């Protein structure tokens, strides 16, 4: 409950408020009109009610708390009626940095994604207070991305998430990016199937035994590169049972996806055996040489091998190798087995991994030409 009182000796009004804790506090308003004091009293009552119920305060009261003078803000914060963040002003840069550092539940790569999206945003919108970012700014950013980014949907989805965090922190009343479509539709022009002949040609040109192993594991075992290949240890290979335990950093948040078993496919036995003999007892990991620069170094060597093999560089280098592996396995094994070996669902496989191959076309043509079509 809140009430206003006229001070008997000072020229002005003050509000008495009963906090959710039961304590009674007073806020000196100074020389304001009675109507002004009553309005402030209503705002404080709403803030106290929202704090008690752990709900979002009335929009008008929230707006008032953000715009009021610093002395009153400090009081409201001290009483727990508004969060600390309402005291400071966050620009786009400072909020994204704060949001990224506060997300202890995500990996460093995800935090870097937040900052990369901020970089894109600042190409269009000035680094201003996030409360002044408008829906018009958001739409202008969407138009800027059109035709420029192959990952437009992902960028918008991430920025919506970042600004939703500001809404949760009561820095914003609404998310200016909510109206944008964060489409995650797959661009078919970036899908490719790497044939056996292409794979053999590239493998023959790859320099370095460990880079060759990374390529083989991506193309014929469907490992994610570099995350899963870099966690593979020699002790994960069961030579007798012909099985390999794969540790998946991407699936760490899900108990059933942390690890998976895959076969030791025949095409991997000889190169793995040769590599293990050279590694002896001094190496823990199968890929030991590029521990700090795997992504850059493995990509560089794969690009060089594709060029040396005189092939056209395909998009999403490692992703399409993994997709080609899934496509091949689907021809010989049940869907649920392929899902288990590659560590994803069939729904994800259908969207991201399954490819139409030249052999599919050849088989279809052979079927058609072998059919007798009678004319009427």
pLDDT top residue among 228 and 374: 228
pLDDT at 344: 83
Instruction: Report whether pLDDT(126) > 60.
Output: yes
Domain ranges of the chain: 2-86, 92-185, 190-362
- Under the phi-then-psi rule, with left for phi > 0, alpha for psi from -120 to 50, and beta for the rest, what region is 237? beta
| Mean pLDDT (whole number) for 309-331 | 94
- The answer to which of 138-152, 212-226, 266-280 has the lowest mean pLDDT is 138-152
Mean pLDDT of 78-101: 81
Q: Is the pLDDT score of 369 beyond 80? A: no
Find the mean pLDDT for residues 45-74.
84
User: Mean pLDDT across the stretch 270-281?
Assistant: 86
Rounded average pLDDT over 69-75: 83
* pLDDT tens column, 342-357: 988 778 777 777 888 8
Strand partners for 5: 14
Distance separating alpha carbons of residues 158 and 152, to the nearest angstrom: 10
Q: Which residues pair with 2 in a beta bridge?
A: 17
Q: What percent of the chain has pLDDT over 70?
A: 92
Query: Rg of the Cα trace of the chain?
Result: 30
Find the mean pLDDT for residues 204-228: 94
Q: Which pLDDT value is given to residue 230? A: 92
Residue 320 pLDDT exceeds 80: yes
pLDDT at 315 over 50: yes
376: pLDDT confidence band, cut at 50, 70 and 90?
very low
CATH class belonging to 92-185: mainly alpha
| Closest residue by Cα to residue 77 from 87, 67, 68 | 87
- State yes or no: pLDDT of 373 exceeds 70: no
Express each pLDDT in 139-176 by its tens digit: 999 999 886 656 788 899 999 999 999 988 878 878 99
Beta strands, E only, the chain: 2-6, 13-18, 24-30, 237-238, 243-247, 259-263
pLDDT of residue 84: 65
Torsions phi, psi of 371, nearest 5?
A: -95, 135
Fold (topology level) of 190-362:
hpI Integrase; Chain A (1.10.443)
Mean local confidence (pLDDT), 285-308: 89
Query: Does the structure show a pLDDT above 80 at 184?
Result: no
Q: Quick one: tokens of 229?
A: 């290949």
Q: What was the pLDDT predicted at 197?
A: 95
CA dihedral for 346, 351, 355, 356, sign (positive or negative)? positive
> Strands of 243-247's sheet, edge to edge?
237-238, 243-247, 259-263
Statement: residue 135 has pLDDT above 80: yes
For the chain, what is the total number of helices (H) and then of strands (E)?
16, 6
Tokens 């707006």, residue? 63
For residue 181 the two structure tokens come to 């479509």
- Looking at residue 258, its pLDDT comes to 85
Residue 82 main-chain phi, psi, to 5 deg: -135, 150
Q: Which residues pair with 14 in a beta bridge?
A: 5, 28
- What contacts 75, CB < 8 A, 6 or more positions away? 25, 27
Between 12 and 362, the more confident residue is 12
- The residue ranking higher by pLDDT, 172 or 255, is 172
Residues in Cβ contact with 222 at an 8 Å cutoff, skipping those fewer than 6 apart? 262, 322, 325, 326, 329, 341, 342
Q: Which residue has the tokens 């690890």?
A: 259
Please give the residue that has the higher pLDDT: either 186 or 55. Answer: 55
**Amino acid 7: pLDDT:** 83
Residue 372 — very low, low, confident or very high, per pLDDT cuts 50/70/90?
very low
Q: pLDDT tier at 88 (50, 70, 90 boundaries)?
A: low
Give the Å distances, CA to CA, from 138 to 113, 127, 323, 351, 363. Answer: 19, 14, 34, 28, 49
Range 6-26 average pLDDT: 88
The pTM of the full predicted model, rounded to 2 decimals, is: 0.63
Mean pLDDT calculated for residue range 86-104: 84
What pLDDT, on the 0 to 100 scale, is given for residue 106?
Answer: 84
Cβ(355)–Cβ(192) below 8 Å:
yes
Per-residue pLDDT at 271 exceeds 80: yes
Task: Report pLDDT for 374.
Answer: 43
Q: Where residue 114 falls among pLDDT bands split at 50, 70, 90?
A: very high
CA dist list (Å): 280 to 273, 275, 283, 289: 11, 9, 7, 14
Burial 285-307 (b: 16+ CB within 10 A, else e): bbbeebeeebeebbeebbeebbe
Chain position carrying tokens 């075992």: 221
């Amino acid at each position: 409950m809140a009430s206003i009182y006229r001070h008997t000796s000072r020229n002005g009004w003050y509000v008495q408020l009963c906090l959710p804790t039961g304590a009674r506090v007073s806020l000196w308003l100074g020389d304001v009109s009675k109507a002004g004091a009553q309005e402030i009293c209503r705002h404080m009552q709403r803030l106290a009610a929202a704090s008690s119920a752990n709900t979002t305060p009335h929009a008008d009261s929230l707006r008032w708390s953000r715009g009021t003078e610093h002395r009153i803000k400090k009081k409201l914060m001290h009483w727990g009626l508004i969060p600390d963040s309402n005291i400071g002003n966050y620009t786009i840069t400072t909020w994204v940095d704060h949001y990224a550092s506060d997300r202890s539940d995500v990996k460093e790569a995800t935090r870097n994604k937040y900052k990369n999206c901020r970089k894109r945003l600042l190409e269009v919108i000035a680094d201003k207070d996030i409360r002044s970012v408008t829906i018009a700014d958001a739409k202008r950013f969407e138009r800027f991305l059109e035709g420029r980014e192959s990952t437009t949907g992902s960028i918008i989805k991430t920025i919506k998430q970042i600004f939703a965090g500001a809404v949760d922190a009561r820095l914003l009343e609404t998310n200016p990016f909510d109206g944008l479509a964060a489409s995650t539709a797959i661009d078919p022009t970036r899908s490719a199937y790497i044939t056996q002949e292409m794979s053999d040609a590239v493998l023959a040109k790859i320099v370095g035994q460990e880079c060759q192993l990374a390529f083989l594991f991506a193309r014929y075992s469907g490992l994610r590169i570099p995350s899963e290949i870099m966690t593979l240890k020699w002790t994960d290979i069961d030579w007798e049972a012909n099985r390999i335990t794969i540790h998946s950093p991407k699936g760490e948040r899900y108990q059933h996806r942390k690890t998976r078993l895959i076969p030791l496919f025949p095409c991997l036995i000889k190169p793995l055996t040769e590599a293990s003999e050279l590694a002896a007892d001094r190496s823990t990991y199968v890929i030991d040489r590029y521990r700090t620069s795997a992504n850059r170094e493995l990509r560089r060597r794969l690009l060089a091998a594709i060029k040396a093999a005189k092939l056209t560089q395909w998009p999403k280098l490692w992703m399409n190798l993994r997709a080609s592996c899934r496509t091949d396995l689907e021809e010989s094994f049940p869907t649920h087995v392929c899902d288990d070996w590659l560590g994803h669902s069939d729904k994800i496989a259908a969207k991201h991994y399954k490819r139409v191959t030249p052999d599919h076309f050849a088989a279809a043509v052979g079927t058609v030409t072998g059919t007798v079509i009678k004319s009427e």
